[in-house]
Chains A and B, each alone.
Chain A
Amino acid sequence: MSEADHSSAYRREFLAEVEREVEGGTWVKMCMQCGVCAGSCPFGPHWEHSPQKIFMMIRAGQREAVLRSESMWLCTSCYNCVVRCPRQLPVTHIMHGLASYAQKLGLAPKLQATRDFSLQFWENCTRTGRVNEMRLTLGLYFREGLVAGFKQAWAMRTVAWGLLRAGRLNPAELVGGHRCADANGIKAMLAKAREIEARRKAQHGH
């Protein structure tokens, strides 16, 4: 690796960028690298970079490696790390903040399941103010194509039948579906929230 290549993997201003752009980002410098978050995480064995490591990578300026990582998308918000962190870092919030920032920049891994679900859920519930379970479920089943979708649906047929009989699944939801009384009001609220967030950010970063 040439010297130029090497230096491009490390962006020294990345910590400052995280502090400015990511929710909870100002806490990253407080990490003392004890490892309690990593050791307490129930998902520990499954992700590539633990929170402890992510914090160190941010400070080392590994911008691409952090933002393109799948690791923070695996956080299940159990808050084990938050209650145990000796420095009381809001680890869970920082993980979500990083994931959300990576998504905004278009760097988040495309086929990551949590990311996919989050996007579909958000899109689904902000449209009408109610979650349309029929559409959300099918959207997730068919995310990897028609064949995969039908396979998944078939595998779940007994559950679906049970839900139908109990009146918990309404096929009519597929067209239109129920909505909250003032769906436009919800949209207005969200627009206002975005506006406030943008204004606050313009004023003092995060």
Chain B
Amino acid sequence: MNAIATNQTLLVIGGGISGMSAALEAAECGAEVVLVERNASLGGRTAQIYRYFPKLCHPLCGLEINLRRLRANPRVRVLTLAEVTEVSGRRGNYRVQVKLAPRYVNERCTACGECAKVVTRTIPNPYNQGLDTIKAAYLPHALAHPQRYVLDASLLGSPEAEAARAACPVGAIDLQMGVETIELSVGSIIWATGWKPYDAVKIQPYGYGRYLDVVTSVEFERLADPRGPTRGRILRPSNGEPATNIAFIQCAGSRDENHLRHCSRVCCMVSLKQTQYLREAAPEGAQATVYYIDIRAIDRFENFYQQVRADARVKFLKSKVARIVHNAQSGQLVLHGVDTEGYHRYAREHDLVVLAVGMEPETNGLDLPEDLIRDASGFIEGSSDGGQFGAGGAAAPLDVNRAVQSATAAALRALQVTRAAARAEELKG
């Protein structure tokens, strides 16, 4: 397939659940789609979630369905390790520069894993939030698409790179690969660039980055996963002992003029869900306490909230924790605050603290095209010329379900643009 697309093509930036959904919905309507992903495989942050709320089912199931749709659809062209560097032109006729980073492994790769066997160098494992390490020749995760290994750039120039190349039975390793830039011509663009967790280090009184046993909800997700760094056991990062008394702190960075102004909407349900992980991850009976301002479990999630409320292992304390102090003697973390139901002052010890961190757009801090309209928090609404659209976590803090709805809506709007461009071409012709 040629890299040069036409202006009836739709570009989707970001290959997470929203980008995949938007690309597939559009392609299944007959559109030509280019799906650009910065990482080495599709799936985004959804692939790193252990379970969905409220049914506690596994995200891999939905991802697998999408991957099957993708493989069955010749209209979607997937570019991984690809980053959009420039967008010019206007609605119906954009020119887009895409930078392709080298993978050092070409499409001949069969994911046999022989290269990883001869490599000893390790790197922090991005799939597990850097909580463990992985060989520098790796498959990003079990359901990675494309199913191709990646050689980390840190191997380059070392004898191990050469050994890996020699070990490959199909000659898939190409150490000469370099950065490439391609230009695409597309009619419409969907920004499905997703979200990132708010940098918890900035919430100074909670001590993230100073106290090992203060983790984010995103990291906790990996701790609970059997494919995670602790094989699904919830262990304290400080000493590797099982956590027995866990605090969940809501609105860590959200609804706060000093951090993120908006309510991230998802974090309440994430924490409620994560308290339920303890049933299988800590069968010996760990306790959870949720510290909250108010629980935002919207519409049908109320049932799930009531279920968790009824769980004897889970306590709720209506209070935003003011600060966390490390008790050097006991090794415990002491949470200080005042509860809103009675105004009682407390200093409660926990052995693990999970910050339900807020969501901000992944693109915050990056240079974006000037005519993109963004809200006060940086979420992308679309472009002023009506040819570009935000979708999923890039457009608002959304759970997976609502992100997919948002992506489908964006696909429909983008299709209208590419169809209009096609009609204009016909009239000219």
Q: Which residues in A have some Cβ–Cβ distance to B below 8 Å? A: 32-36, 38-40, 44-45, 49-50, 52-53, 83-88
Q: Does B326 contact A (CB under 8 A)?
A: no
In the assembled complex, the Cα of A87 lies from the Cα of B340 at a distance in Å of 16
Contacts known (A52-B338, A53-B343, A84-B205); A35 close to B257, Cβ less than 8 A: no
Could you tell me if B257 and A38 are in contact, using CB atoms closer than 8 angstroms? no
Contact of A86 among B255, B319, B345 (CB under 8 A): B255
In the assembled complex, the Cα of A86 lies from the Cα of B203 at a distance in Å of 11
Q: Does B293 contact A (CB under 8 A)?
A: yes
Could you tell me if A50 and B205 are in contact, using CB atoms closer than 8 angstroms? no
List B residues 317-349 near A (Cβ within 8 Å).
319-323, 336-340, 343, 345
In the assembled complex, the Cα of A38 lies from the Cα of B346 at a distance in Å of 11
Chain A residues closer than 8 Å to B336, beta-carbon distance: 39
* Min C-beta distance of B104 to chain A, whole Å: 46
* Min C-beta distance of B248 to chain A, whole Å: 15
Lowest 3 CB-CB distances: which A-B pairs, in order? A39-B322, A34-B320, A38-B338
In the assembled complex, the Cα of A18 lies from the Cα of B183 at a distance in Å of 63
Contacts known (A34-B320, A35-B320, A39-B323); A87 close to B338, Cβ less than 8 A: no
Q: A86-B257, A88-B257 are in contact. List 8 more A-B contacts (CB 8 A).
A: A33-B293, A35-B337, A38-B343, A39-B320, A39-B338, A44-B338, A52-B343, A86-B251
* Min C-beta distance of A56 to chain B, whole Å: 8
Chain B residues closer than 8 Å to A35, beta-carbon distance: 319-320, 322, 337-340
Q: Which residues in B have some Cβ–Cβ distance to A below 8 Å? A: 205, 251, 255-259, 293, 319-323, 336-340, 343, 345
Specify the chain A residue showing the minimal Cβ separation from B294: A32
In the assembled complex, the Cα of A83 lies from the Cα of B259 at a distance in Å of 12
Q: List 5 A-B contacts (CB under 8 A).
A: A34-B293, A35-B339, A39-B338, A53-B343, A86-B257
* Min C-beta distance of B392 to chain A, whole Å: 27
Could you tell me if A39 and B321 are in contact, using CB atoms closer than 8 angstroms? yes
In the assembled complex, the Cα of A86 lies from the Cα of B253 at a distance in Å of 9
* Min C-beta distance of B256 to chain A, whole Å: 4
In the assembled complex, the Cα of A85 lies from the Cα of B255 at a distance in Å of 11
Could you tell me if B338 and A86 are in contact, using CB atoms closer than 8 angstroms? no
Specify the chain A residue showing the minimal Cβ separation from B293: A34
Chain B residues closer than 8 Å to A83, beta-carbon distance: 258
Could you tell me if A39 and B258 are in contact, using CB atoms closer than 8 angstroms? no
Contacts known (A38-B337, A39-B338, A45-B345); A87 close to B257, Cβ less than 8 A: yes
Could you tell me if B256 and A86 are in contact, using CB atoms closer than 8 angstroms? yes
Chain A residues closer than 8 Å to B258, beta-carbon distance: 83-84, 86, 88
Specify the chain A residue showing the minimal Cβ separation from B335: A39
Chain A residues closer than 8 Å to B339, beta-carbon distance: 35
In the assembled complex, the Cα of A38 lies from the Cα of B290 at a distance in Å of 19
Could you tell me if A84 and B343 are in contact, using CB atoms closer than 8 angstroms? no
Could you tell me if B322 and A38 are in contact, using CB atoms closer than 8 angstroms? yes
In the assembled complex, the Cα of A84 lies from the Cα of B256 at a distance in Å of 9
* Min C-beta distance of B140 to chain A, whole Å: 37
In the assembled complex, the Cα of A184 lies from the Cα of B133 at a distance in Å of 76
Chain B residues closer than 8 Å to A40, beta-carbon distance: 205, 322-323
Most chain B Cβ neighbours within 10 Å, of A38, A53, A85, A87: A38
* Min C-beta distance of A36 to chain B, whole Å: 5
In the assembled complex, the Cα of A86 lies from the Cα of B263 at a distance in Å of 12
Chain B residues closer than 8 Å to A87, beta-carbon distance: 257
Specify the chain B residue showing the minimal Cβ separation from A33: B340
Chain A residues closer than 8 Å to B320, beta-carbon distance: 34-36, 39, 86
In the assembled complex, the Cα of A131 lies from the Cα of B149 at a distance in Å of 77
Could you tell me if A84 and B338 are in contact, using CB atoms closer than 8 angstroms? no
Chain B residues closer than 8 Å to A39, beta-carbon distance: 319-323, 336-338, 345
* Min C-beta distance of B343 to chain A, whole Å: 5
